[in-house]
Amino acid sequence: MFPAPHDLSCPAASPGSPVQVEVIEVGTMDADWKFVQNDGKEGPVAMTMRVGVIHHPGGTILVDAAQGQATRDGKWPGFPVSAKSQHIPEGSALHERNLNVQKVLLTHGHYDHIGGLMDLPGVEVWLTPNEWIYLHSGALGAGPVLRADLKWKPVLPNGQVLDRPATDVMGDGTVWLLSTPGHTPGSASVLVRAADGPWLFVGDTAWVDSHLLDTQRPWLVSALFDSNHKQYIESLEWARSLKAACPNLRVVTGHDPTPFVPPAN
């Protein structure tokens, strides 16, 4: 059973915002649909690895980093995951796009969201304190990333946005890192108030768009991949409530196999 829907106000439109957002697909991961959601279907599917790119006057900010050169070289991720099931086409990795990235906002620390950090030396990596602890306490394959030349920045919330503890990333109310735990202990979402309206990146709270409607990952899969099932369900219902109530909100899931196309205003 899902908890009762949240009573949430939709993020306000921001026509004068100087911020622009795009979603890029860095690569794909091989999967079987029966492990993605509990709708009785099965068969091979290529799950995208998505990165949000926030163009802010103060610099370029990424939401997650997907995977990069180490994956293409077959070095990342290691056992028990195979790099052979991850596909990073030539020219798609973040370091090949010349984005001049200042910050990366992590939704969580799983390998398929952090591998590309190794291609971005010196970048600031913002994450929740609980996710910082999680990365140091056995997150799958995190060691090489933690040893990379990165500026880690665990940040405490300094506000409340959409019923969530939140951090104002740029100090102007345009980009917020929101606490949405459950998939991992410190999972986060990112709200952006952009020129074309509000965006919400929910990371792996929802792998695919249909998780925001009437399906979710199978129970056994959730038991393997979600650190706290109760919190995961609560964060998922929060995202579902926003998606249903706010038609102008662009909600970006973690790995939908269909390339993201923003809905028309």
Mean pLDDT score across all residues of the chain = 92
CA-to-CA distance for 103 and 193, rounded, in angstroms?
A: 17
Each residue's pLDDT tens digit, 221-233:
999 999 999 999 9
265 pLDDT tier (thresholds 50, 70, 90): low
With 0.75 as the threshold, say if the pTM is over it.
yes
CA-to-CA distance for 166 and 158, rounded, in angstroms?
A: 6
Domain 20-252: CATH superfamily is Ribonuclease Z/Hydroxyacylglutathione hydrolase-like (3.60.15.10)
Each residue's pLDDT tens digit, 33-46:
999 999 999 999 99
The average pLDDT across 21-42 equals 96
Each residue's pLDDT tens digit, 138-195:
777 788 899 999 999 999 999 999 999 999 999 999 999 999 999 999 999 999 999 9
The average pLDDT across 132-143 equals 86
Confidence (pLDDT) at 80: 78
